[in-house]
Chain A
Amino acid sequence: MTHSECQDLLLDLAYGELDAVRAAEVQSHLSGCPDCQREEAQMARTRRMVAPLREVEEPPARFDARILAAARAEAHLQSDGLPGEVIEVKGSVQPMGLQAARIDTHAAVAPKSKRKASWATRVAVGGSIAAAAGLALVMGASLQSRKQPPQPAAQFEIRVGEAARKAQSDAVAKRAESEAIEKAELKKAAEAPAPVPQEPQQTAGAERKPALKAKAVREETQVGGGSDVADQLASRSDHAKEPAAATTSAERAAPPAPAASPPPAAPVPLAGNAGPPLAAVANEPSAQRAIRTASAPPPAKAAAGRLEVEKTRSMPAQLAAPAADASMLESQAQSARHAGNYALAASLYRSAAQMRQSGTQSDAGTVAWDLAHEVECLAAAGLFDQARQVRADLQRLHPSENMAISAANRALQAADLPAAKAAEQPASPPQR
């Protein structure tokens, strides 16, 4: 071994990065080279001086909570592929998931404002049905005496109606007959004492994801009665405007009294609660009916549902303004992606990125990852040109987000082979 070779390897030796053979070679040169010995000795001395910097320090105990909550939420999103995971509330949230998916398909093509309106309309219609069924199920199980089907629906008419403020009644009318069948089925379900009749519906692949998500929400909140349904509805229907991240609301929501017992707080006054939404929902005849029914006898149960709705709507709003919305979009994007609907997933990621970009500034990393996921989804959908454009945006806007950029590059690797040496330049992928 030459002197300069040895010099190069002294650091590797000091940090134990040489294999035995190489280490022995360096040692044997060292033994006969005073220069190298001096250097090696000084390095060792310096390392002894800085040794305290190696001591590992513990972060405070509060450190883990937020991370684990996020991990749990994510895990529930990821485990959708497993059949039989969905339990209990399925009946109630299933149709919501269906609605959400349909809505977002439109979101991909429609301009923002319009998308919101049509989304809201659908939620108003579909959500009410879902809510009716869901609450009825929950109630049926816990409170057998009250089996009037339209009544539980009313509670949700009101809150969903808020999202439907700008809903157009013609859209409702158009969709009325197509949903007649669904309605009939759900009605049947609503009258049933247990969630059994809903079972067959939920094997449809695309809807399974939101259902699981709902399950995640349920598990984390551990609330009883209809409140998880309310949670779910809240997060779905608030998605366009109001932040209602599932996990956040789940963390926050104080477990209300189980369905059987009335909540201690005073019931939210119906009229006050309904303010603008009432007027909006009034477009839809069935909703009107439902509201009337609800206002007639204010049962403890209904109050519980509304209170929970209030909570989920207002509490997260103070926490993380635009981010919660975006994370909702990201969840949906992930669901769509897992369901194989890549084009939809890509557009959802794009929306999430836009939402984050217009929001807080410290979110650059997440925006970059949204864009990277968009690239991945576009590539998976075979939309390579679009994917390249998004990647270019990503590289231009977030040149320091190496991981995201290299993820985007990986997604386009196959498509890139001939063309893209230049585009890959800024990334320093840490892959092996």
Chain B
Amino acid sequence: MSQERSDEELLAAFQQGDVGAFEALLRRHRAPLFTFLLRMLGDRERAEDLAQETFLRIVKGAAAWEQRARFSTWLYTIARNLCVDQSRRDRFRRTGSLDETGPEGESPLVDSVPGYEAPPDRAAESSRLRVVLQEALLSLPAEQREVFVLREQAGVPFKEIAEMVGCNENTAKSRMRYALEGLRKALLAAGIDEELAQEEPSTGVRMGRA
């Protein structure tokens, strides 16, 4: 029954004290949100931490939440802001220790994702492809990466992405174009071409909503 309810209805129910409604929300969004953070950060542990933190903030802010904002927008905005904070902290840390990385976080592909672990149960090449893809993604400037991941993986429309990251829609779209172009070049440079990509393009995973 709860699956049919929209995110916003579930959150409203949670505001009334219905924990089951919140559980449904969590079930619906935990994996997509975790994946979003994993793509953004390239590190499972940190992705898990920030995803948890995101939901905890949802819990905490639920009472003050107003129906005007869409739940998924709120969720991903929190997650995205946590990412921004995180990468700010990382940059401090990195400039302190690893000076050889490029200016402004534009680190070389190979060394940019020390924490990234490929899922253990994949075949070798497929796993290599994923690692290269993740590295290529992390080589993008953060502002392009976030637009790309929000649109491609989280399924957030450009208009909402623009609201989340604080730019206008055209800027969001042009960041997306740069991101796609950057990824294409990075993948070609890593020797990955279209043959390795078996899957059909789609509009991406849509976020749960009604």
Q: Identify the A interface with B (CB < 8 A).
A: 8, 11-12, 14-17, 42-60, 63-64, 66-68, 70-72, 74-76, 78-79, 82, 330, 334, 364-366, 369, 372-373, 376, 400-403, 407, 410, 428-432
Q: Are A58 and B34 in contact (CB under 8 A)?
A: yes
Q: Which residues of B contact A410 (CB under 8 A)?
A: 66
Cross-chain contact A67 with B177 (CB below 8 angstroms): no
Q: Take A63-B30, A70-B60, A431-B69 as given contacts and tell me if A49 and B200 are in contact as well, using a CB distance cutoff of 8 Å.
A: no
Mostly, the A contact residues are helix
Binding site for A on B (CB under 8 A): 14-19, 22-23, 26, 30-32, 34-35, 38-39, 47-48, 51-53, 55-57, 59-64, 66, 68-70, 73-74, 77-78, 81-82, 84-85, 119, 126, 129-130, 133-134, 137, 149, 151-153, 157-158, 160, 163-166, 170, 173, 176-177, 180-181, 183-184, 187, 192-194, 196-205
Which of B17, B61, B158 interacts with A78 by CB under 8 Å?
B17
Whether the pair B158, A17 counts as a contact (CB closer than 8 A) is yes
Question: How distant is the Cα of A372 from the Cα of B69 in the complex, in angstroms?
Answer: 16
CB pair B34 A57 closer than 8 Å: yes
Docked CA distance A402–B69 (Å): 13
Partner of A52, one of B51, B74, B77, B129: B129
Classify the interface of chain B: helix, strand, loop or mixed: helix
B26→A432 contact, CB < 8 A:
no
Q: How far is the CA of A46 from the CA of B151 in the complex (A)?
A: 14
Known contacts A50-B183, A54-B153, A400-B81, A376 near B64 by CB under 8 Å: yes
Q: Are B64 and A68 in contact, CB atoms less than 8 angstroms apart?
A: no
Taking a contact as CB atoms under 8 Å apart, the answer to whether B129 and A12 are in contact is no
Q: Are B193 and A49 in contact (CB under 8 A)?
A: yes
Chain B residues in 8 Å Cβ range of A55? 35
* Sample (21) of A-B pairs whose CB atoms are under 8 Å apart: A11-B176, A15-B158, A48-B201, A49-B194, A50-B137, A51-B200, A52-B130, A52-B199, A53-B137, A54-B152, A56-B35, A58-B30, A63-B30, A63-B51, A66-B56, A74-B59, A365-B57, A365-B85, A428-B165, A430-B160, A432-B68
